[in-house]
C-alpha cells in the first residue's frame, strides 16, 4: 500500500522544499534518513552477497558448465540479489512520490528512444541469439566476414578471437542478420581434397594408396567411410577427389590447416614412393602444316 504524504507536495517553492527535505524527520515525503540508510546498506550487502555467491558458483560449477553459461548464472544471481534487496527496502521509499518515479521512467524511455535504437536492436538480437543458441563459447564460427573462436556472448555483442588472435566484437544485431556458420555445431564434418595425377599413372593404385593412408590415420573417421574417386579428367591431370570425415572438435578451424599439414604431405609422399606423380600444368601443341625453315648461305 503506497501512502503519499501531502505535505511533501505542498512545498510551493524551492526554499520550502529544501527546508522540508532537511527537516528533522523527513527527507522526501515520509522517507526517513534511517530508511535511506537501510536501503543503501542492503544494496551493499546484496552486492557483497552476489560476489560471495559468484565465488561459490565458480568453484562448484566451473568444470561442469561452459564459461558463458557460468557467466550467465553468475550475472543472474547478482541481479537477483540486488532486486531482492530493492524489493525488501524500496516500498517505504515509494513515499517519495509517484511523480518522481514516473519522471525517471519517462526520462529513461526518452533516452532509449532517442539514443538507443541500435542498442535496443542489439539487446533484442542478443535475447534471440540466447534463445536460438546457434553457437556457444569455444565454437569456431564465421559471421559475415569474421572467422574465429567465440570467447563470450553478451546481450549486446558476441566477442570472437579470430585466427590471428585479434579481439573482434560483433554487435548481436549484425550477427543476427548475417549468415552464421558454426564449424563446431555438429560432432563431425566432411573435408574435401583434390589431387591431380598424370594420365599415365594407375588411378586404381593411387586410390588404394590414399584409402590406406586414411584408414591408418586415427582422426579420419571409420564411419562414414572416406570416399576416394576420380572426379575429373582435366587438361593436365586426372583429378582424384578425397572426401573424409573428421571430429569437429579436433578440426575446429575453418581453414583446415591441421588436415592440410598432416594428410596432404602423407598422401604426396606415398604417391611419389609408388611412382605416381602430381604433374605440372602442360599442353601439347599440334601444327596443321609441317614447319619448314630455310637457311640461306652466302
Which residues here bind another protein, judged by CB under 8 A? 63-64, 185-190, 218-219, 221-224, 245, 247, 249-250
Q: For 237, what's the count of Cα atoms within 13 Å in the CB-facing half-sphere?
A: 15
Pairing of β 238-247 and β 188-197: antiparallel
CB 274 to another protein: min, Å: 23
Give the H or E element holding residue 152: strand 146-153
Pairing of β 238-247 and β 167-171: unpaired
Give the H or E element holding residue 102: helix 98-115
Q: How far apart are CA 280 and CA 186, in angstroms?
A: 38
Identity of the residue, 205 or 227, whose beta carbon is nearer to another protein in the bound complex? 227
Identity of the residue, 116 or 138, whose beta carbon is nearer to another protein in the bound complex? 138
Identity of the residue, 64 or 295, whose beta carbon is nearer to another protein in the bound complex? 64
Identity of the residue, 186 or 261, whose beta carbon is nearer to another protein in the bound complex? 186
CB 129 to another protein: min, Å: 19
How does DSSP assign 158-172, residue by residue? EEEEETTS-EEEEEH
CA 156 vs. chain centroid, Å, equals 12
Classify each residue of 258-267 as buried b or exposed e, where b means 16 or more C-beta atoms within 10 Å of its C-beta.
ebeeebeeeb
Give the H or E element holding residue 245: strand 238-247
CB 247 to another protein: min, Å: 5
Identity of the residue, 12 or 218, whose beta carbon is nearer to another protein in the bound complex? 218
Identity of the residue, 138 or 185, whose beta carbon is nearer to another protein in the bound complex? 185
Q: How far apart are CA 33 and CA 36, in angstroms?
A: 5
CB 225 to another protein: min, Å: 10
Q: How far apart are the first and last CA of the chain?
A: 126
Identity of the residue, 12 or 261, whose beta carbon is nearer to another protein in the bound complex? 261
Q: How far apart are CA 47 and CA 66, in angstroms?
A: 24
CB 198 to another protein: min, Å: 32
CB 261 to another protein: min, Å: 16
Question: Which three cell numbers, joined as nine digits, stand for 298?
Answer: 652466302
* Cβ partners under 8 Å of residue 250, min gap 6: 219, 258
Question: Which three cell numbers, joined as nine digits, stand for 191?
Answer: 573435408
CB 260 to another protein: min, Å: 19
CB 176 to another protein: min, Å: 22
Identity of the residue, 187 or 264, whose beta carbon is nearer to another protein in the bound complex? 187
Amino acid at each position: 500500500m503506497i501512502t503519499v504524504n501531502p505535505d511533501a507536495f505542498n512545498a510551493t517553492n524551492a526554499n520550502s522544499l529544501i527546508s522540508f527535505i532537511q527537516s528533522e524527520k523527513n527527507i522526501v515525503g515520509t522517507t526517513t534518513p534511517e530508511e535511506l540508510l537501510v536501503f543503501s546498506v542492503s544494496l551493499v550487502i546484496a552486492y557483497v552477497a552476489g560476489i560471495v555467491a559468484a565465488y561459490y558458483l565458480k568453484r562448484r560449477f566451473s568444470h561442469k558448465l561452459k564459461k558463458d553459461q557460468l557467466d550467465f548464472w553468475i550475472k543472474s544471481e547478482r541481479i537477483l540479489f540486488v532486486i531482492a534487496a530493492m524489493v525488501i527496502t524500496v516500498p517505504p521509499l515509494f513515499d517519495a512520490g509517484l511523480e518522481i518515479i514516473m519522471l525517471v521512467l519517462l526520462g529513461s524511455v526518452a533516452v532509449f528512444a532517442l539514443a538507443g535504437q541500435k542498442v535496443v536492436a542489439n539487446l533484442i538480437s542478443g535475447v534471440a541469439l540466447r534463445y536460438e543458441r546457434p553457437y556457444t563459447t569455444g565454437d569456431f564460427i564465421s559471421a559475415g566476414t569474421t572467422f574465429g573462436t567465440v570467447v563470450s556472448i553478451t546481450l549486446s555483442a558476441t566477442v570472437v578471437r579470430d585466427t590471428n588472435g585479434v579481439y573482434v566484437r560483433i554487435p548481436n544485431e549484425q550477427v543476427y542478420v548475417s549468415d552464421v556458420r558454426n564449424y563446431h555445431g555438429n560432432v563431425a564434418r566432411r573435408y574435401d581434397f583434390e589431387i591431380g595425377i598424370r594420365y599415365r599413372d594407375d588411378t586404381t593404385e593411387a586410390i588404394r594408396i590414399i584409402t590406406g593412408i586414411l584408414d591408418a590415420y586415427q582422426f579420419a573417421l571409420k564411419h562414414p567411410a572416406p570416399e576416394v574417386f576420380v572426379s575429373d579428367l582435366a587438361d593436365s591431370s586426372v583429378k582424384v577427389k578425397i572426401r573424409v570425415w573428421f571430429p569437429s572438435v579436433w578440426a575446429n578451424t575453418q581453414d583446415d590447416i591441421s588436415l592440410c599439414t598432416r594428410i596432404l604431405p602423407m598422401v604426396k609422399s606415398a604417391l611419389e614412393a609408388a611412382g605416381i606423380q602430381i604433374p605440372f600444368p602442360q599442353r601439347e601443341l599440334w601444327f596443321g602444316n609441317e614447319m619448314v625453315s630455310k637457311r640461306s648461305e652466302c
